[in-house]
Amino acid sequence: MSDILVIDDDPAVYDILRMYLERSGMRLSWAADGCEGAKQALASAPDLVIVDVMLPDIDGYEVCRRIRAARDVPIMMLTCLDRSADAVVGLEMGADDYVRKPFSPREVEARVKAILRRSADSPSVEEDPCRRMGFSESDGGQVVLGDLRIDCSTRDVTVGGAHMHLTPKEFGILCLMAAHPRVVFTRQEILDQVWGHTHDDIGIHTVDTHVKRLRSKLSDHGCKECTIESVWGMGYRLAVRV
């Protein structure tokens, strides 16, 4: 049974979603504001989060940012705003889908099922990220590039001996680039290798959000010998200066 967390200050929205999704065998929980919703998402690890953009405290974009900083749970955003720019912001913040209000409950039900199906069917980076990203058996599941060390057996990443926390997708991107330093990867190639599927409705610029966070974490931990570079018109590469 899939667990769905709905974050919306309108109880009527929760009621209609619960009616349609529970009949499909899903289990729903509800938070009426963004701060509480983000806490629930991090504490209970639902299979999908549905979050409204307009909330009484923090907005849905901030909720998405907080969740994405720690987890890769699928996120669907709801909004009354009728501007394509708002959809772009949501997708760039890491949302997997975007639905405008008033919505068709049947459409949301279908989209939820599609997201959960993709999540279940996607080849899992978490299961064996090193082998999937190109590490050989001879390296013992580890790679050392200057002060950056990746240990796939423990999923531990350190910079100068200090632990660096990464989400599963950030870890997958780093593994991919560390296995092929100085090689340029397009956004689509990163999606294919790390997410394991190429559906357009994921939003290819979701890659930018994850790379931006990974780059920031490397910088914050003082990693000077390995940096992620943007290659204009192409994608990203791990620059190694050792």
**Domain 3-121 coded CATH 3.40.50.720:** no
C-beta of residue 166 within 8 angstroms of C-beta of residue 220: no
Query: What pLDDT digit, counting tens, does each position of 137-151 carry?
Result: 445 568 889 899 998
Q: State the pLDDT at residue 125.
A: 45
What single string gives the DSSP state of each residue in the chain?
A: --EEEEE-S-HHHHHHHHHHHHTTT-EEEEESSHHHHHHHHHHH--SEEEEES--SSS-HHHHHHHHHTT----EEEEES---HHHHHHHHHTT-SEEEESS--HHHHHHHHHHHHHHHHHSPPTTTSHHHHHT--GGGTTEEEETTEEEETTTTEEEETTEE----HHHHHHHHHHHHSTT--B-HHHHIIIIIS---GGG-TTHHHHHHHHHHHHHHHTT--SEEEEEETTTEEEEEE--
Positions in the chain whose pLDDT score sits under 50? 124-127, 137-138, 198
Question: What's the CA gap between 29 and 181, in Å, rounded?
Answer: 43
Q: Is the pTM of this model over 0.75?
A: no
Q: State the pLDDT at residue 204.
A: 72
Class of the CATH-defined domain 129-240: mainly alpha
Residue spans of the domains in the chain: they are: 3-121, 129-240
